[in-house]
Amino acid sequence: MSSYPMSSDDATRARKGFKARPGRTAFESIITKKLYNDPEDSDEERQRLRSERDEFRSETEFLKKEIASLQIRVGEEQEKNSRFKHLADRIHSQMENKELFLSEQVTDETVKQNIEELMDSIRNWATLLGDEFSTTGEYRVDQKLLADYQRVSPAMWTVADVRRIWSNKKYRKFFIRGWVSLIICDTIFRSAPFKGKSPGKGEDFWIEESTLRGTFNKLEDLIYSKDSELSHRELNDWRALTIELITKLGKHEHEEEEEEPGAERKCETPFDELLDRLPAWVDDRSKEELLCILGEAVKLSRVLRQQRACWTVRFLPHYYCRNEEGKLVKKARTFAPDLMVADYVKDDSGPPPMKGHALLFVLTPLVCKRGDIRGENFDSEEVKQKAAVVLNTPTGN
């Protein structure tokens, strides 16, 4: 819009009733006619109209500047949104294809090495314990544990069988080695449910606060047990991320407590029930030494639970088969090459271990894995480390 003053020629055209020149607004034309077409108007009226015209022009110029400023801001915001969208696309792409979890994602070899080191610690402890006790026959056998004893030694069907094995130095070492491994697997190593299967009795004892631990484990059971549109990838991503956040929360709380002078942090001991399940002939000193091994197991269980893949450290359960009547009955396990590796053969001169050999002892757990670091392949489980077993002579011999 033009803002130049009206020339004398324009004023003359206005007095004669001609239209305003092109480029002038209708409002300016009205004002111009009013000023110059009526000679009887007073100077005061003309002054008022000029003032209104100037105010209109000033307001118009102000609005023009505001519109220009808003257009600049809109352009800046559009550019910013474009950058954010590009960044979001990159993050999404990276989340789909790379390891971007808060905790370190360890390799399969690292996991197997850590488990082997834990099993070696148990073996060394069991060996020393077995050498120290020459007789165990006078100790009471808890018959309630017979069913679990059979998971370690399928030959333990009666109290007499237990006493016979405990009285043999070599067998005593094998038994205590397998028994501690079973207790640790059932108590400390927890695995996420899969296709309606129970996660087992294990708890996340690295969460020292029992209420938080119980709440998280129940929530996990609930989420996995419900029919949901969530994929295995989403469920395991949730589990790994939530556990890492809980871990960081625990570290933060401990740091705050340590800053208070004289404050003593009470650490819950989750191993009382575990230690009570050891045979009566295991003395208090040996139990104290075992606590260090249990601490290693708790740390390892946390590392496994922080992984995007789903790791399971599982001691072999009871073996059931159907009898002639079609009923499920418990049966002694035999050697299965796809699940086991022979750690010791009773008759060294006999044939190599084959399917069907009777088991004397199960010493270590089965280590399995579902999924990978990319969040795929959760539908199948892969054996990463076989259970170590002790064999008797082949069945039927």
Question: What pLDDT sits at residue 345?
Answer: 52
Average pLDDT, the chain: 75
Asked whether the predicted pLDDT for residue 393 surpasses 70, the reply is no
Each residue's pLDDT tens digit, 255-285: 444 444 433 333 345 567 677 777 777 777 7
Mean pLDDT of 110-118: 94
8 A C-beta contact, residue 139 and residue 281: yes
Q: How far apart are CA 389 and CA 151, in angstroms?
A: 11
Residue 124's pLDDT band, with cuts at 50, 70 and 90, is very high
Question: What pLDDT sits at residue 56?
Answer: 87
- Report the amino acid identity of residue 258: E
Contacts of 380 (CB under 8 A, 6+ apart): 370
**8-state DSSP, 368:** E
Highest mean pLDDT among 87-101, 104-118, 209-223: 104-118
Quick one: what percent of the chain has pLDDT higher than 70? 69
Question: What pLDDT sits at residue 259?
Answer: 42
Asked whether the predicted pLDDT for residue 106 surpasses 80, the reply is yes
Each residue's pLDDT tens digit, 193-247: 655 555 556 778 888 777 788 888 888 877 777 666 677 788 888 888 888 888 8
Is the model more confident about 40 or about 185? 185
Helices 284-305 & 108-132 angle (0-180, nearest 10): 170
Asked whether the predicted pLDDT for residue 317 surpasses 90, the reply is no
- Decide the pairing of beta strands 340-345 and 387-394: parallel
